[in-house]
Amino acid sequence: MSKPLYLGELLLYWCSSCKVPVLGKECSCGAKTKQVTITPPGDIRPAFPYEIELINKISVEQFNAPLITDQRTVVLNKSPYDDRMEEIIVDGEVIGSIRFELEKLKWTLLLRINGARRIFDNTDYKTLKNWVVIDAGAEKFILGGASVLAPGIKDADPSILEAEEVVVLTHEGKVLGVGRTRMNGEKMLERGKGVGVKVRFKEEPAEITVPEGGQTWDDVVKANESYINDFIERSHKFIKNVSSSVDRPVTVSYSGGKDSLAVLHLVSECLDDYDLLFADTGIEFPETVKNVHDVAEAYGKPLNMISSGEAFWDSVDSFGPPSVEVRWCCKVCKLGPITQIINDNYDNGCLTFIGQRKYESDTRAKSERVWKNPWVGNQVAAAPIQNWTAMHVWLYIFKNDLLYNPLYGEGYDRIGCWLCPSCSVADLYRLKETHPGMEKKLNDYLLSYAERMGLSEEWVKHGFWRWKDLPAQLKEIAKKKEINLVPNCENEHNLHFTVTTGYRPCKQGGISAEGGFDGPVDINRLELTGMLEAVGKSSYMEGVAMVTDGENRAQVFASGSVTARGDSDRDARRLMKKVELSVRRALLCSGCGVCVGKCQSRSIKMKKGLAIIKDKCTHCGQCIDVCPVVKFNS
pLDDT in tens, 309-324: 998 998 888 778 999 8
What whole-number distance in Å separates Cα of residue 596 and Cα of residue 622? Answer: 11
With 60 as the cut, is the pLDDT of residue 262 above it? yes
pLDDT for residue 376: 66
* Maximum Cα–Cα distance across the chain: 86
In 3D space, the residue among 156, 128, 123, 117 whose CA is nearest the CA of residue 64 turns out to be 128
Q: Which residues pair with 549 in a beta bridge?
A: 552
420-443: average pLDDT: 96
Exposed/middle/buried for 442, CB within 10 Å: 0-12, 13-18, 19+? Answer: buried
Q: Are 140 and 148 in contact (CB under 8 A)?
A: no
Please report, to the nearest 10 degrees, the dihedral formed by the alpha carbons of residues 119, 124, 130, 134 taken in order. 110
Tell how far CA 89 is from the center of its chain: 22
pLDDT for residue 1: 44
Please name the amino acid found at residue 152. Answer: G
pLDDT band at residue 5 using 50, 70 and 90 as cut-offs = low
CA-based torsion, 40, 262, 310, 566: positive or negative: negative
pLDDT for residue 6: 57
42-66: average pLDDT: 96
pLDDT band at residue 568 using 50, 70 and 90 as cut-offs = confident
What whole-number distance in Å separates Cα of residue 80 and Cα of residue 94? Answer: 15
With 90 as the cut, is the pLDDT of residue 177 above it? yes
* pTM, entire model: 0.85
pLDDT for residue 3: 55
What whole-number distance in Å separates Cα of residue 547 and Cα of residue 533? Answer: 8
In 3D space, the residue among 362, 413, 365, 366 whose CA is nearest the CA of residue 388 turns out to be 365
304-313: average pLDDT: 91
3-class DSSP state of 86: strand
Q: Which residues pair with 96 in a beta bridge?
A: 88, 111
Higher confidence at residue 422 or residue 368?
422
CB atoms within 10 A of CB 314: 12
pLDDT band at residue 46 using 50, 70 and 90 as cut-offs = very high
Please report, to the nearest 10 degrees, the dihedral formed by the alpha carbons of residues 626, 627, 629, 632 taken in order. 20
3-class DSSP state of 134: strand
Range among 251-265, 497-511, 579-593 rated most confident: 251-265
End-to-end, the C-alpha distance of the chain in Å comes to 45
Quick one: which H or E segment has residue 181? strand 175-181
When the pLDDT of each residue in the chain is averaged and rounded to a whole number, the result is 90
pLDDT for residue 551: 85
Categorise residue 509: left if φ over 0, alpha if ψ from -120 to 50, beta otherwise.
Answer: left
What whole-number distance in Å separates Cα of residue 475 and Cα of residue 484? Answer: 10
Quick one: which H or E segment has residue 85? strand 85-90
Q: Are 528 and 504 in contact (CB under 8 A)?
A: no
pLDDT single digits (tens) 210-225: 999 999 999 999 999 9
pLDDT single digits (tens) 591-627: 777 788 778 888 999 888 888 998 789 999 889 888 8
CB atoms within 10 A of CB 71: 12
pLDDT for residue 315: 82
CB contact burial 502-517 (16+ within 10 A = b; e otherwise): bbbbeeeebbbbbbbb
pLDDT band at residue 508 using 50, 70 and 90 as cut-offs = very low
With 60 as the cut, is the pLDDT of residue 590 above it? yes
